[in-house]
Copies of this chain bind each other. A is one copy, B any other.
Amino acid sequence: MTALKNDRFLRALLRQPVDVTPVWMMRQAGRYLPEYRATRARAGSFMDLCKNPELACEVTLQPLDRFPLDAAILFSDILTIPDAMGLGLYFSEGEGPRFERPVRDKAAIDALGVPDPEQDLGYVMDAVRTIRRELQGRVPLIGFSGSPWTLATYMVEGGTTKTFARAKGMMFDRPELMHALLGKLAEAVTGYLNAQVAAGAQALMIFDTWGGTLTPHDYREFSLAYMQRIVAGLTRSAQGRQVPVILFTKGGGQWLELMADTGCDALGLDWTLEIGDARRRVGDRVALQGNLDPCTLYASPEAIRRSVARILASYGDGSGHVFNLGHGIHPEIPPEHAAAMIEAVHELSPPYHVE
């Protein structure tokens, strides 16, 4: 493989010295970019785009051609694993992801198989290989998965939910069933992420989108425990380099210490806590990724720059910070506003990296 030309993202995740604070954006390949919308229109459905390695590669690289980002992230969906388990993923207009066959009882959970990544999710591995080839070492490629709890909520509910009625109902009433489901998912996610590393992913991120809807007690038992199991089973180096692992629980700001104890390398932060406070809490155990309120990008470039400056100052001197939004970029954001954020990070951060 080609040598990596810009490794500051990987170095920051491992708290090694860098020249400037690296930056990327969750959902950086997405609807706010006209070139993405054009490819998406050509592809057919959203899943057609995910399942076409050439087109997935194309949209993965689009934001890198436009902005000086320090990392690429595989374009895919968090629900590829349940789809490969046979639940029949589809997207209905305005309702988000849906499953044809939700998983609601013991028989359905017992019937679930753990997918073979190369066989059942080969399109993802092909996309990783294609992207790595096309990246030509410009920046590292991040692989990812949803967390077991997050995947389980969609699988039990049959789609998105505001109330988590069925998923939490199962968790409270039949915890042994929920644990059986989460155990299978942890095994599936571990294999899936390791296959992404084998295919060329250089860092990994676990998106626990719905862990923050749990009580602290239930978070530890039904989400964190399974992420910890995954972290323990991951391939942590490839091609002579460490493969850093980032955990991100949206709404998990109160549980950073617990998350840092899983053995991951970095924590993703949403915007509801000061990154400087987060740094004091986790000490030198993990790097931190975040944490600009994604709504800041609705504002003017001047306001964006002020907010970037505040976060850089809050984190303070030294490495261990990857700049990002606290959640995915919203579809209506003008691309110039994303550019203003990225430029501000690169321009304003060098003073924090003077030896």
Q: Which A residues are closer than 8 A to B by beta carbons?
A: 163-166, 168-169, 172-173, 212, 214-218, 251, 253-254, 271-274, 277, 293, 295-296, 298-300, 303, 307, 310, 330, 332
A51 CA / B310 CA spacing, docked (Å)? 46
Select A172's contact among B169, B254, B307, beta carbons within 8 Å. B307
Kindly report which residue of chain B lies nearest to residue A172, judged by CB atoms: B299
Q: What DSSP secondary structure best describes chain A's contact surface?
A: helix
Copies of this chain, tallied across the complex: 2
List residues of chain B with CB within 8 A of the CB of A330. Answer: 163, 165
Q: Is the CB of A168 within 8 A of B272?
A: no
CB-contact partner of A253 in B173, B254, B271, under 8 A: B254
Could you show 12 A-B contacts with beta carbons less than 8 Å apart? A165-B330, A166-B298, A168-B299, A172-B298, A173-B303, A214-B272, A215-B274, A216-B272, A216-B273, A217-B274, A217-B310, A218-B293
B273 x A169 contact (CB < 8 A): no
* Alpha-carbon gap, A215 to B308, bound state (A): 13
CA distance A120 to B164 in the complex (A): 39
Contacts of A307 in B (CB 8 A): 172
CA A173 – CA B305 in complex, angstroms? 12
A332 to B163, CA, bound (A): 10
Bound together, the chains give a CA A295 to CA B164 distance in angstroms of: 7
Q: Residue A254 contacts which of B214, B254, B295 (CB distance < 8 angstroms)?
A: B254
- A303 contacts B253, CB within 8 Å? no
Distance, CA A23 to CA B298, complexed state (A): 42
Q: Report A341 CB to chain B, min CB distance, Å.
A: 12
Given the complex, which residues of B lie within 8 Å of A251, measured CB to CB? 251, 272
| In contact, B216 and A299 (Cβ under 8 angstroms) | no
Closest B residue to A294 by beta carbon equals B163
Distance (whole angstroms) from the CB of A178 to the closest CB of chain B: 12
User: With contacts A251-B251, A330-B165, A332-B165 known, is A303 near B172, CB below 8 A?
Assistant: yes
A216 touches B172 (CB 8 A): no
